[in-house]
Amino acid sequence: MLRVSARRRLHRQFWPCAALALIGAIVSAGTAAAGSDTISPVIACDRLQSEAGPAMRVSEAQPRPAAGGLPAHCEVIAYLDERTGVDGQKFAIGLHLRLPEAWNGRFVFQGQGGTDGVLGNGDALPGGGQPSALNQGYATVTTDAGHSNAPGPLGGASFGLDPQARIDFGYRADDVVTRRARQFIQAYYGRLPTYSYFLGCSNGGRHGMALTQRFPEHFDGVAAGAPAFRMPEKGLAGAASTQGFAAIAPKAPDGRPILAEALSRADMELLSKAVVQSCDEADGLADGIIDNVPACRFSPRTLQCPAEKTASCLSGAQVAALENYFEGPTTAQGRRIYAPYPYDSGIATEGWRRWILGTAPDSRVNAFNVSFGATLAYLYMTPPHSPLASEAEAVYDFYRTVDVTAAHAGIFGTSAAMPESSVQTISANSVDLSAFRQRRGKLLLYHGVSDPTFSALDTLDWYKRLTNAAGGEKETAEFARLFLVPGMNHCSGGPATDGFDVLTPLVAWVEQGRAPERIEARAGATTPWPGRSRPLCPYPRQARYLGSGSIETAESFVCTAP
């Protein structure tokens, strides 16, 4: 299974970019290619305590023996720019670095999901059942992006009330942690990495895209999955679509909507089966996988009941709420808030439901979309919404009652304390990758077509805009490729071949010039077809059956133009 997981919660002050690049070039020129031999440390792990410089505290630098599935390595935990911010909140940029005793000369930064706030394990899992990057000999690092999501008086999202915390989360922590990690690597091994990579999904994918746009000198290769590169817009769209579903949901005795009952599991199964029946064969094979995404023109109106609601149809109100979600909600002036979503086979899964409707049988809302109410209030709106009475208020009331049109202005708003809007600070929507491309960086994007939170169509639209900016499909494919994963939910799950390795093809592309023409993916045990393998194809190519051989194996399929 893919394990570059969005749910693992999981500053530019030191070393100018030009100097760092020059040092890297000198070191690389005098060493063998990464991976040809393993490299041993030149100092003891605890000596890294002395690397604490201005505005950095090394809390731990300890050798770790091989144990718990991890190899022998040096573990470093450090905190940068510790300070007291708004409302007395304590802030610091956490760094969690692991340095293997047998190093392959490479470095991987693991981006985290959610809104960061947790100093994760940081051994960097590449997916496809492959060993972690640390176990493969890479030096690995991760960060909490400058804050803790531990619940406080205002809840975990209250870091967004602090202007500097927004900037650190948006992009600065990526830069500072990368520089400091390289400093530790050079001290420990006596040299810098020959190649550097970034892996992340969801918010981690956003971090990867921000690095290609803001700090193109840092990484040779970036794998960005389900990238949350328009996080504020998506957060508001989540509120708007939730209001649509809440409006048609039955009411609990307390008068609040039972959101999970707006569409029952049977309703969503009915919808999913109709989508598959309508779109599956557009790729030439009825196999439960919709490879020809652009050809799917499904409308839920085909399922609308002519009269009373029955088990074989959807009510008019349900159809309208679905259209509001899939087509993308708008402001009162008709401005689309976020991208539309594709109709796909994975929309009846528990993974989709957990994000959009939740599973609570009463008015206690546990949908992820709704739980980010405080994030919309504190992190995305400028000035931030007045502090909510509690996290419960955010869950029950804020998403349900927020004025979507006013909030839309808020996510683009500024203030004296926050001269950049959240869209400017947090989004990574630019298609100017010229500097990243010039240094021969490679960007591997992947996105599940049944992702309920960040739309695959938004990523596809970004890639099309990148193609226009870069001069065409051929030119773009030289440095950036997008792989759509039919049926996959957010970063993993769903009726999909969602088990695949992103690090190996990225390394081959960067170091050997072998661009990924296809990535083999495998279905997990809970899918309708355990063990099935298929190629994931770089857009605009799609997987097509050769006409002979088992449809359960990737060898029977070719990536071709639609």
pLDDT confidence tier of residue 315, bands split at 50, 70 and 90: very high
pLDDT the model gives residue 33: 38
Q: Are residues 434 and 288 in the same domain?
A: no
Which residue in the block uniquely carries the two structure tokens 């996080």?
231
Residue 411: name the closest of 222, 245, 166 by CA: 166
Q: Are residues 76 and 223 in the same domain?
A: yes
pLDDT the model gives residue 154: 65
- Model pTM? 0.92
Peptide bond into 383 cis (omega under 30): yes
Mean predicted confidence (pLDDT) in 187-191: 98
pLDDT confidence tier of residue 15, bands split at 50, 70 and 90: very low
Residues 6+ away with beta carbon under 8 Å from 242: 259, 356, 367, 369, 370, 399, 400
- Cα→Cα distances 178→18, 57, 122, 194, 306, Å: 15, 16, 13, 14, 59
List alpha helices for 471-540, DSSP H: 473-477, 503-512
Q: Are residues 54 and 155 in the same domain?
A: yes
Measured CA to CA, the distance from residue 384 to residue 304 in angstroms comes to: 41
Q: Are residues 47 and 100 in the same domain?
A: yes
- Cα→Cα distances 15→12, 21, 30, 180, 182, Å: 8, 10, 21, 9, 10
Measured CA to CA, the distance from residue 198 to residue 192 in angstroms comes to: 16
Pairing of strands 139-143, 195-201: unpaired
pLDDT in tens, 328-338: 999 999 999 99
Two tokens at 22? Answer: 């020059």
Q: Are residues 283 and 358 in the same domain?
A: yes
pLDDT confidence tier of residue 13, bands split at 50, 70 and 90: very low
Structural domain contains residue 12: no
Two tokens at 64? Answer: 């770790």
Inform me whether the pLDDT recorded for 190 exceeds 80: yes
88 DSSP assignment: G
* Radius of gyration for the alpha carbons in the chain, expressed in angstroms and rounded: 24
Domain end (from 496, 512, 528): 512
Which residue in the block uniquely carries the two structure tokens 């956003």?
206
**Could you tell me if 16 and 82 are in contact, meaning their C-beta atoms sit under 8 angstroms apart?**
no
Measured CA to CA, the distance from residue 129 to residue 131 in angstroms comes to: 7
pLDDT the model gives residue 333: 94
Structural domain contains residue 534: no
Residue 180: name the closest of 143, 213, 137 by CA: 143
pLDDT the model gives residue 160: 94
Q: Report phi then psi at 515, rounded to 5.
A: -65, 140
Structural domain contains residue 51: yes
Residue 94: name the closest of 116, 74, 61, 113 by CA: 116
**Could you tell me if 275 and 345 are in contact, meaning their C-beta atoms sit under 8 angstroms apart?**
yes
pLDDT the model gives residue 370: 83
Q: Give the chain's end-to-end CA distance (angstroms, integer).
A: 27
Measured CA to CA, the distance from residue 35 to residue 49 in angstroms comes to: 28
Residues belonging to the active site: 202, 451, 490
pLDDT the model gives residue 400: 77
Measured CA to CA, the distance from residue 97 to residue 103 in angstroms comes to: 13
Q: Are residues 215 and 252 in the same domain?
A: no
Measured CA to CA, the distance from residue 242 to residue 28 in angstroms comes to: 52
pLDDT confidence tier of residue 364, bands split at 50, 70 and 90: confident
Out of 4-8, 18-22, 430-434, the most confident range is: 430-434
- Cα→Cα distances 382→111, 420, 556, Å: 26, 9, 53
Q: Are residues 199 and 252 in the same domain?
A: no
Residue 269 or residue 2, greater confidence = 269
User: 521: which strand partners?
Assistant: 534
Question: How many CA atoms lie less than 13 Å away from 329 in the CB half-sphere?
Answer: 22
pLDDT the model gives residue 156: 80
**Tell me, what CATH number does 106's domain have?**
3.40.50.1820
Q: Are residues 53 and 133 in the same domain?
A: yes
Inform me whether the pLDDT recorded for 21 exceeds 80: no
For residue 244, the tally of other CB atoms under 10 A from its CB is 17
pLDDT the model gives residue 481: 98
Q: Are residues 177 and 275 in the same domain?
A: no
Measured CA to CA, the distance from residue 365 to residue 254 in angstroms comes to: 13
Q: Are residues 185 and 211 in the same domain?
A: yes
Mean predicted confidence (pLDDT) in 254-260: 92
494 DSSP assignment: S
Residue 176 one-letter amino acid? V
What dihedral do alpha carbons 131, 135, 139, 143 form, nearest 10°? Answer: 60
pLDDT the model gives residue 7: 29
Inform me whether the pLDDT recorded for 72 exceeds 50: yes
**Could you tell me if 503 and 497 are in contact, meaning their C-beta atoms sit under 8 angstroms apart?**
no
Structural domain contains residue 192: yes
Two tokens at 357? Answer: 């409707």
Structural domain contains residue 98: yes
CA 314 vs. chain centroid, Å, equals 32
**Could you tell me if 15 and 179 are in contact, meaning their C-beta atoms sit under 8 angstroms apart?**
yes
Q: Are residues 322 and 202 in the same domain?
A: no
Strand segments (E) across 280-438: none
Number of domains in the chain: 2
pLDDT confidence tier of residue 390, bands split at 50, 70 and 90: low
pLDDT the model gives residue 24: 36
Structural domain contains residue 418: no
Structural domain contains residue 538: no
Q: Are residues 33 and 159 in the same domain?
A: yes
- Cα→Cα distances 418→80, 161, 423, 424, Å: 22, 10, 12, 11
Q: Determine the 3-state secondary structure of 204 from DSSP.
A: helix
Kind and range of the H or E run holding 82: strand 73-84
pLDDT the model gives residue 4: 34
Q: Residue 216 is part of which domain span?
A: 17-229+428-512
Mean predicted confidence (pLDDT) in 526-547: 98
Structural domain contains residue 2: no
Residue 213 or residue 365, greater confidence = 213
Domain end (from 326, 341, 364): 364
Inform me whether the pLDDT recorded for 539 exceeds 60: yes
pLDDT the model gives residue 392: 59
pLDDT confidence tier of residue 60, bands split at 50, 70 and 90: very high
pLDDT in tens, 439-461: 999 999 999 999 999 999 999 99
pLDDT the model gives residue 153: 61
pLDDT in tens, 80-103: 999 999 989 999 999 999 999 999
Domain end (from 339, 364, 389): 364
pLDDT the model gives residue 358: 94
pLDDT the model gives residue 372: 77
User: 208: which strand partners?
Assistant: none
User: 278: which strand partners?
Assistant: none
